[in-house]
Amino acid sequence: MSATITELKSIASPVVVDARGVSCPGPILAAKKQIGGVPVGNVMEVLATDSGTLKDIPAWCRKMGHDFLGSFEEAGSIHLFLRKAK
Amino acid sequence: MSKKTIIVFSGDYDKLMAAFIIANGAAAMDDEVTMFFTFWGLAALRKPVGAVANSADKSGLQKAFSAMLPKHAEKLGLSRFNFAGAGRSMMKKVMKSENVMTVAELMETAREQGVKMIACTMSMDVLGIGKDELVDGIEYAGVATYLGEADESNVNLFI
C-alpha cells in the first residue's frame, strides 16, 4: 500500500538524500549514511537516477524496518520516500 | 542483524567489484560481513608498488609468484576481454563516466562500514606474500576461522 504522488509531494520538509548520478550500491550507501540523522517518525526522501533504486530502496526499508511510502519519477529523477520507524 | 560471509578466491577485477558491491550492500543493510581472501583474491589486498618492503626470506618460486601477481587492486585484470589490461582501462573509463565506484573505492567504503577482511595465511605462504605487503587493518587466519564465521552466516558466497 503506497501513497499517491500528490500525498508524497505534500509531505512537509523531508530530509533529502541526493544520490542522483551514482550507480549501485551508491544510493543505499547514501541512504544508510543519512538515516542516522533522521528522527524516528520523520520522512526521508531519496533522489536517484539509477533505475534499480526503485526496487532497492523498498528492499532496504524492509530489511532495516523502515516504512517505504512510495515513489515517483519526475524530470529524469526518481523520488523515493520512507518513514524512519526505529 | 544477520551475517554474510564471502570467500574471495578470484583475482579478477570484475569479480572483485561484485564481491565488494555485495559486501557494501549488506553492510548498508546493517549486516555483519566477513570477507575471506584466499589465493588470487589476495592480490586485491596488496599495497601499491613501492610501499612494499623486500621480503628476504622468500624462496625463488615464492619470489616468482609474488612478482607475477598484480601489485594492487586497480591493477587486476578482467575475467573476460582483458586484452593485457587494455580492456580493464576501457571499462574503468566507462565506469568513471557512469559514476560506478572502482574496486579501490569500494574497498575503502567497505572498511568504513566495518566489513571484516581476513587474509588466508596458507595461500599467502604459497604465493610468497608477506604481511608487510598487504594493506593494514586486516586479520590473518585459516579455514577454521572462515568456517566458524560461515556457521553464523545466512548467506555464503564463493567468488
ipTM of the complex: 0.79
CB pairs under 8 A between A and B: 31
- pLDDT tens digit sequence for B99-137: 899 999 999 999 999 999 999 999 999 998 999 999 999
- Look at A25 and B100 and tell me if their CB atoms are within 8 Å: no
Q: Which three cell numbers stand for residue A79?
A: 523520488
Q: Across the interface, which of B28, B99, B101 has its CB nearest the CB of A28?
A: B28
Strand arrangement of the beta sheet that strand B32-37 belongs to = B139-141, B116-120, B32-37, B3-8, B155-158
Chain Cα centroid distance, residue B11: 7
Is B90 or B71 the better-scoring residue by pLDDT? B90
Per the prediction, chain A carries an average pLDDT of 92
For residue A61, the domain's CATH number is 3.30.110.40
- pLDDT tens digit sequence for B55-85: 667 788 888 888 888 888 898 999 999 998 9
- pLDDT tens digit sequence for A9-51: 888 878 999 999 999 999 999 999 999 999 999 999 999 999 8
Residue A19 is inside which H or E element, if any?
A: strand A15-19
Domains along the sequence of chain B with CATH: 3-158 (3.40.1260.10)
Q: Do residues B110 and B119 touch, judged by C-beta distance below 8 A?
A: no
Residue B150 has a pLDDT of: 95
Number of domains forming the structure of chain A: 1
Q: What is this structure's pTM?
A: 0.87
Neighbours of B106 (CB within 10 A): 23
